[in-house]
Structure 1
């Protein structure tokens, strides 16, 4: 059943879904070359004042040997998730885990600088060691990494279930805890998926989005704890809190988006140039740096895919996650049809990526 209420965007649903998915692949690949430069002077010396297209990593830096337009390991795992969704028609956890065991894990060895995509992140390394070396079952291999690794693949699940927020939250939660167990990370990852789902529906990333998200909490569609009434007003006298199993401890992960969107559109609150959002929210990998920066860029450049992802890339640090998440959020707002063609054709294996993206996007539109 569709959860749409007051859609703000008349663009076709499948176009928005495809835009979100392809936007993530594009953001990931755009940051491949200049990934993880925390010294911005070094970044500018090597890549110039403004990175505007796909680039290859330098021989002495992260991801060396890869080619411009290729996907990092985050893109590889996003594709694996999409392939499972496409073939199964929905989120099938057993199929996802089977693909990890049979397709992905044999390509890595538990060390950082190895495997498809050039670098294996912490939570994936931990899962590999517990699964492949210790023989632990899925459900017992997750770690406490505080990064966006789960969000980078579960964004596909969020798009697939954009019209069913309860199923979205359930599937994103279940997939996230396969590799990451920190409660705050899981809550923020599910919140990101909920926001992305709303943008795919056609809602705007603006000052009203948190109110809409909280309405879904009140209806029971999103599993967050809340005792307030209305727009975070005091609880009504005599109101009784009913415990809900598995509910996140607070709704705070759903509240930051409206404040950030309001700031992004407020003429008295300016980050200039916008790539300096990385300095405001932080350049490292943790979720509390990455999600706010992506929300800011996606709200500020809601109608301008190119500006959003390029400012994400040019901010340095963990720009790959920032650009991937931003690309998904803005891609959902502009739609696949309004993503600059050069970004699509410049992707390695572009035709195959486009086919899998369109296949899942159609599933969303035909539910």
Structure 2
């Protein structure tokens, strides 16, 4: 496969996330796979309408969920401001999203509002608290689903990425472990936009950035995870996050994907290996595995994620971003763009962000 330009990979990452989000809109949150098969058949291969009485009822095939709406809002802020401007992002949330919510789950753009966004709305709108006092304790990927746009923009500036992603994620997520896993995913995505493969060496590259003080993770061990020696400082590399383990996970999942002695067949059963629920520690291993296994095959990656059921909308959006960053926008089958509502406009947004991403931001 020919090399992809940074811009192509950056645009592919953002479009992969939009596509994955929209694919999951219809068959979202089926934990009974037999029920999903009765409603959608044995294999879902594209965009579908949500069933009456289920999540996102009233939406149509190819539309974005509320997570996609917020991702678009985030990307728009980045493009218009030339980088991450937290005040502008918060203003857009106040003006463009929160007036459309009422604090109930089955409400708002996309037909459903996630836990962390409901909690932020209550603190911000009902209680009148300032941004910065709006975070809740949801252990989900909701922050990643928007900050991946920041990762694309700051792909060539990993220190700036870590700072901007952590600050944005902390607006809605109060758990430091969730924040560390969010920064880790975004750091992986940035490496892929820069042309690295999601293979077993990805974690070594991330740990090298920790060693250089670029990524803000605490690490007690020496290179190669060797133990500290007598006289070594404690810690040799300090950072905001207590452990670098979130940076090690991608390498293990990528290793499992290429190890001939480890097979998950069919690949959609990855959801049953790592778990179908919404928590971040279920979502990320499955997304890393699928994106490593199908690194050159966008369609197989997102469809196996989708057909795994459970929280397949988040899983497929995160998988789509990781694989989109590897195959580039040019490697995404056109049918997924054609079937996406406002697909041309979303492509234009992705290309504008990608153009900015090709140049390191000034800080």
TM-score normalised by the chain length of structure 1: 0.96
1:188 aligned residue: 181
1:55 aligned residue: 48
State the secondary structure of the residue aligned to 2:25. Answer: coil
- 5+ residue gaps, structure 2, are none
1:3 aligned residue: none
Contact between 1:144 and 1:182, CA under 8 Å: does it hold in 2?
A: yes
Contact between 1:163 and 1:364, CA under 8 Å: does it hold in 2?
A: yes
Pairing 1:184-223 to 2, within 5 Å after superposition: 184-223=177-216
State the secondary structure of the residue aligned to 1:249. Answer: coil
Deviation at 1:232, TM superposition (A): 0.5
Deviation at 1:9, TM superposition (A): 7.9
Distance 1:256 1:170 in 2: 21
State the secondary structure of the residue aligned to 1:174. Answer: helix
1:131 aligned residue: 124
| CA-based RMSD | 1.3
Q: Structure 1 runs of 4+ off > 6 angstroms?
A: none
Distance 1:332 1:86 in 2: 18
* Residue 138 (structure 2) pairs with residue 149 (structure 1): no
> Match for 1:171 among 156, 160, 164?
164
> Match for 2:225 among 227, 232, 237?
232
State the secondary structure of the residue aligned to 1:255. Answer: helix
Contact between 1:9 and 1:203, CA under 8 Å: does it hold in 2?
A: no
* Residue 328 (structure 2) pairs with residue 338 (structure 1): no
Distance 1:76 1:336 in 2: 20
2:303 aligned residue: 310
Contact between 2:220 and 2:237, CA under 8 Å: does it hold in 1?
A: no
Distance 2:78 2:2 in 1: 26
* Residue 114 (structure 2) pairs with residue 111 (structure 1): no
Q: Would you say how many aligned residue pairs link Structure 1 and Structure 2?
A: 360
> Match for 2:234 among 236, 241, 246?
241
Structure 1 residues 261-297: Cα deviation after superposition (integer angstroms, max 9, x where no partner):
1111111100000000000000000000000000000
* Residue 268 (structure 2) pairs with residue 275 (structure 1): yes
> Match for 1:348 among 341, 344, 348?
341
Contact between 2:31 and 2:310, CA under 8 Å: does it hold in 1?
A: yes
